[in-house]
Amino acid sequence: MNEPQGKRTSVFTTPWFQIFAEQTPDEGQPHYVIEGKDFVVIVAVTRDNRILLVRQYRPPVAEVTLELPAGHIEPGETPEQAARRELREETGHEADNFKLLASLSPSVARYTNRMYCFFAADARPVINPTPEGEPVSLVFYDRGARALIDDKEFYSAPSCAALYLAALRGDLPM
């Protein structure tokens, strides 16, 4: 990333993200910039092409949703190491090859961080999943990518972007 044009001042902090007000010379209102950790999103399929998903209650939307396995990149980790760890923790699965599909921004209008989208084929169970925090259940989605696109529970943009990209790149059978 380039250097910001304006001066950034921290105005609100949580354990997960921090908000900065960036004042540029030509603007009245500051631009509010959200700084979060980089994260990974993983499109992983089993040998028989079932997509590994997680189902959990999400407070912001007050609903149970389906998402791809995902999580923050911890200090010292590469994006691929984080993807391997998150897939293991959230689904109990491993895979030999993790292919980087793209490095996207959650939103260039608001966020400084990046989301790394990976594809992993032939995922196999190795341990019991050990999700942190709230109850998360593992779903082996066997109705195919086309049905998942239309699934009413699957609507979080980071998951959608990664899944659609894997489909368009030809990694994920439709």
Amino acid in the structure at residue 33: V
Give the pair of three-digit tokens for residue 109: 């209008």
Q: If binding is defined by CB under 8 A, does position 158 make contact with a copy of itself?
A: yes
Q: From the list 78, 142, 157, 173, which residue makes contact with a copy of itself (rule: CB under 8 A)?
A: 157
Closest CA to 162 of 58, 83, 49, 97: 83
Q: Which residues pair with 10 in a beta bridge?
A: 20
Q: 39-46 and 70-72: which strand pairing?
A: antiparallel
Q: How many residues bind a copy of itself (CB under 8 A)?
A: 53
By CB under 8 A, tell whether 1 contacts a copy of itself: yes
3-state secondary structure of 50: coil
Element (H, E) at 10: strand 7-13
The reply on whether position 149 binds a copy of itself by CB under 8 A is yes
Residue 132 interacts with a copy of itself (CB under 8 A): yes or no: no
* 170 binding a copy of itself? (CB under 8 A): no
Name which of residues 39 to 58 contact a copy of itself (CB under 8 A): 57-58
Nearest to 92 by CA among 151, 136, 57: 136
Contact (CB, 8 A) for 44 and 120: yes
- Applying CB under 8 A, among 115, 120, 123, 136 the residue interacting with a copy of itself is 115
Q: In this chain, which of 9, 103, 130, 137 binds a copy of itself, going by CB under 8 A? A: 103
Residues found near a copy of itself in the complex (CB under 8 A): 1-6, 11-12, 14-17, 19, 22, 24, 29, 31-34, 57-63, 65, 67, 102-112, 115, 149, 155-158, 160-161, 164-165, 167-168, 174
